[in-house]
Amino acid sequence: MAELAGNVLVAQSGGPTAVINASVAGLITESLNNDCIEEVYGSLNGILGILQEDLVDLAAESQQQIRALKHTPGAALGSCRFKLKKPADLDRVLEVFKAHNIRYFFYIGGNDSQDTATKISAHAVAAGYELRVIGVPKTVDNDLTGTDHCPGFGSVAKYLAASVRELAADHESMGQGDLVSIIEVMGRSAGWIAASTSLAKRRDQPHDSPHLIYLPEIPFSQEKCLEDIRRVLKREKFCQIVVAEGLTDADGNYVSADPATDAFGHAQLGGAGEFIKSLVEANLPGVKTRLSVPGLMQRAASHSASKTDADEAFLVGQAAVKAAVAGESDKLVTLVRGDTDHYTCETGLTPLADVANAVKKLPREWINEDGVSMNFQFIRYAQPLIQGEVVVPQDNGVPAFARLDKMRVDKTLPAYVA
Q: Which residues are catalytic?
A: 141
Half-sphere exposure of 406 (CA within 13 A, CB side): 12
Distance CA 236, CA 386 (A): 28
Cβ-contact 208, 201 below 8 angstroms? yes
Judged on CB neighbours under 10 Å (0-12, 13-18, 19+), 208 is: middle
> Order of strands across the sheet with 238-244?
212-214, 238-244, 179-185, 288-292
Q: How many CB atoms lie within 10 A of CB 95?
A: 15
Cβ-contact 200, 161 below 8 angstroms? yes
Distance CA 119, CA 128 (A): 14
Cβ-contact 372, 225 below 8 angstroms? no
Distance CA 299, CA 159 (A): 9
Strand 55-57 with 132-137, pairing: unpaired
> Order of strands across the sheet with 37-43?
55-57, 37-43, 6-12, 102-109, 132-137, 331-337, 345-351
Judged on CB neighbours under 10 Å (0-12, 13-18, 19+), 265 is: exposed
